[in-house]
Structure 1
Amino acid sequence: MATETLTEAAAPGSARERLLDAAEVLIYAGGIHATGVDAIVKKSGTARKSFYTHFESKDALVAAALERRDERWMNWFIAGTQLRGKTARKRLLGMFEVLREWFASEDFHGCAFLNAAGEIASAHDPIRIVARKHKERLLDFVRSQCDAFAAESDMDARRAVRLSRQWLILLDGAIAVALVSGEADAALDAQTAARVLLDAETSFAGERGASTSHATTPSASKTASKPTNAPANKRPPSRRIAP
């Protein structure tokens, strides 16, 4: 798939870029711990000295490769989502169609950032930090679409925040299931669940709007009970029985 191939490598003669290219391909396919520096250097076609010239360690190289991948992946995902429709609802649901195209590609090996985070124990490790920032960027984009959906459907802003978190779980869940099962249609299963979630939010917003409108509108009985055309200052008739 276009997003997962190295189509944005810099100058062919750049040793640093070739090392990043090689590290990304090997680590995405085989994992961080299973990929040694020698394999990266060999695939890059550079000298081992070049590795130490540009990176202080393999972890530094991996973090740099993930940062570059984050930028490319997010650009691809945002562009693909924007093409799915003019409404926020269509774009939100379209995210899963974008993912399905990725799942169906031969070089799909799951989420590189979840994979990397799973191999690194420390939350303070630079690799884990890059992975966390990627998910924060993805959540921010999803949040922007949920905010737009809230405006379209008159949904409460606080519910939009919760919806964005739920949406990220559906996206990452689809990625994980597709990786383990090998089924690209995991994206469509997640899309079905997402559609139910949007319908529920739309229904809730409608019910809330109707309830608010009813609460602020006087009832017919109260309106009917008001006296009309009553003479000013006229006292009500006496209930006493005439002698």
Structure 2
Amino acid sequence: MTASVRPGPRERLLLAAQELTYTHGVGVGVDSLLKAAGVARRSLYEHFGGKDGLIAEVLRRSTAEDVAKYRATMDAAGDDPRTRLLAVVDQLGRIAAGPDFHGCRYLAADLALTDREHPGHEVTRTYRRTLHGLFTDEFTTLGHPRPDFAADQLLILVDGLLASGAARPEDRPPAVAARELAEHIVDAGLPAAATEDPTAAP
């Protein structure tokens, strides 16, 4: 049998920070991060140059994972671009209703990092540009008359859905309203035949 290898200090810091900054926000203290990772303060500065560098790297890792999840959700929905876009909203609705949901990591970081020059902001901007590109490609394939603008609208809807879900409105969960709004965005300006759900029963 091969003994399991414990991750090194850099990886432990990333894992601890990825969890703690999501559950407690990016304002979590350095001492808490070091304790959770089981590393000395020296490791933080050797690998990341300080907490700001660690936060930026955690956001970078998280965005790569989340973009992959967006792609997987759309691919699992099939080839029809309308179905693929709505599948994203449906999946986010399910995530936002989950017991472990603490809101959008990226919205929270942008609000908490008041220094506009913090390196984390460029990571979140890049993430949003990537999502915008994914959505624009789908709207273009769909034949939407304003694919770039529709992607803007869908991004705003995604932000709103995740922000509303973080408030845990048990009496009025946002998923249903978000789905209907998403349909309006996706179907705007399309011929009636293009808006029919290909998965619906005849």
From 187, 195, 211, the equivalent of 2:183 is: 195
Query: TM-score if structure 2 supplies the norm length?
Result: 0.85
The separation in 1 between residues aligned to 2:71 and 2:15, in whole angstroms, is: 23
Q: Per-residue CA shift, 1:191-219, capped at 9, x if unaligned? A: 1111123333214999xxxxxxxxxxxxx
Partner residue in 2 for 1:16 = 10
SS of residue in 2 equivalent to 1:202:
coil
Matches within 5 A, 1:1-243: 12-33=6-27, 35-150=28-143, 155-156=144-145, 159-182=146-169, 185-203=173-191
Contact kept in structure 2, 1:175 and 1:187, CA below 8 Å:
no
Contact kept in structure 2, 1:81 and 1:98, CA below 8 Å:
no
Alignment gaps of 5+ in structure 1: 1-10, 207-243
Greater Cα radius of gyration, structure 1 or 2:
1
Task: Return the letter of the residue paired with 1:107.
Answer: D
RMSD of equivalent CA atoms: 2.1
SS of residue in 1 equivalent to 2:188:
helix
Q: Per-residue CA shift, 1:23-78, capped at 9, x if unaligned? A: 11111111122x11110011012222222221211111110111001101110121
Partner residue in 1 for 2:198 = none
**Larger relative contact order, structure 1 or 2 (CA cutoff 8 Å, min sep 6):** 2
Query: TM-score if structure 1 supplies the norm length?
Result: 0.72
Tell me the percent identity.
32
Task: Return the letter of the residue paired with 1:32.
Answer: V
Distance 1:12 1:139, change over 3 A: farther
Contact kept in structure 1, 2:97 and 2:168, CA below 8 Å:
no
Q: Per-residue CA shift, 1:158-187, capped at 9, x if unaligned? A: x11111111111111111111123459423
**Aligned positions, number:** 189
Contact kept in structure 2, 1:123 and 1:129, CA below 8 Å:
no
The separation in 2 between residues aligned to 1:127 and 1:141, in whole angstroms, is: 21
Contact kept in structure 1, 2:94 and 2:175, CA below 8 Å:
no
